[in-house]
Amino acid sequence: MRTRQLGHTGAEVSQLCLGTMYFGTRVDPEMSRRVLDAYVEAGGTFLDTANGYAHWIEGWKGGESETLLGKWMRERGNRAQLFLATKVGFDYPGVERGLRARVIEEECEKSLRRLGVDYIDLYYAHVDDRNTLLEETLEAFDRLVKAGKVRFIGASNYLAWRLEQARCISQMNNWASFCCIQQRYTYLPLQPGQSTAPQVMVNDDLLDYCRSTGMTLLAYSVLLGGAYTREDRPLPREFSGPGDEVRLSTLRAIAEETGGTVNQVVMAWMMQLSPSILPIIAASNEEQLRDNLGALDIRLSDEQMERLNSARFA
């Protein structure tokens, strides 16, 4: 699998990151292992999880995804070959929401324990916290970096102006700074007046910010939970409305021209917009994983990119 630079860190990461949100809960341990093995076999090394995954699934309380990854890495003895990303900031049973220094430090220890590792490659602030000074949050992250528990830090669900504030504060204090932003992004735009809060969508402002600063953009919920192709999965209402049919039919036409699937075209479009946009793929079985990895084989022509981009205005 091709790799891409992660911001200005000098580290190279797989062009498709594997999201593991439901591993160990909705996706049973055996299937989770099979998908992880297949991703690694395809050359992937970049795994995404979070402290609280997936506490909202009935019967679970959070930490299951990290625990499953920990067991799988121990069985395979492959920790050193992987680039592990996890997150802190959302609440889950027993843990408050926010980015106070104490929460960051305690949650980092728990994540290290569950994952069974002595360092995390990429540690994200999962969601902005307007009630805590950025100084407190960034200093806490910096302490983890200086202690060798975390290699790089990233942000998720932040607006561009807050990222710029954070960058200035880190720079002034000589602290570690966010190298990437993980945001919600897909081919269908958010309908006017709709919001996915607390999840933050990519907008033109953020795209320009990433282009200008060299920050990597990790895109999540790229496939809208499978809604582009599945009868059993209606489009989320935030994305469904005037104009979506024009965009969906353009996707379908280009999928046919390329011989790829609609999902693959969505991901290929995103990757071709900029080499610093990396989709996070998720799969609940090997078939979905194969479909998603197939995006790496799709090459859209300039004319196809133009049609995909302008369909939004039709």
The binding site for ligand NAP (CB under 6 A) comprises 19-21, 48, 126, 156-157, 182, 199, 220-226, 229-230, 263, 280, 282-284, 288, 291-292
Asked whether 65 and 49 are in contact (CB, 8 A), the reply is yes
CB of 190 to ligand NAP, least distance (A): 14
Q: Pairing relation of β-strands 277-281 and 216-220? A: parallel
Q: Of 258 and 288, which CB lies nearer to ligand NAP in the complex structure?
A: 288
CB of 18 to ligand NAP, least distance (A): 8
10 Cβ partners below 8 Å, 6+ apart? Answer: none
Q: Of 28 and 164, which CB lies nearer to ligand NAP in the complex structure?
A: 28
Q: Of 65 and 170, which CB lies nearer to ligand NAP in the complex structure?
A: 65
Q: Of 126 and 149, which CB lies nearer to ligand NAP in the complex structure?
A: 126
CB of 287 to ligand NAP, least distance (A): 7
92 Cβ partners below 8 Å, 6+ apart? Answer: 51, 52, 55, 61, 62, 63
CB of 230 to ligand NAP, least distance (A): 5
108 Cβ partners below 8 Å, 6+ apart? Answer: 88, 120, 123, 144, 149, 150
Q: Of 117 and 223, which CB lies nearer to ligand NAP in the complex structure?
A: 223
Q: Pairing relation of β-strands 3-5 and 12-14? A: antiparallel
CB of 103 to ligand NAP, least distance (A): 17
Which amino acid is present at 60? W
The residue number whose beta carbon is nearest to ligand NAP equals 19
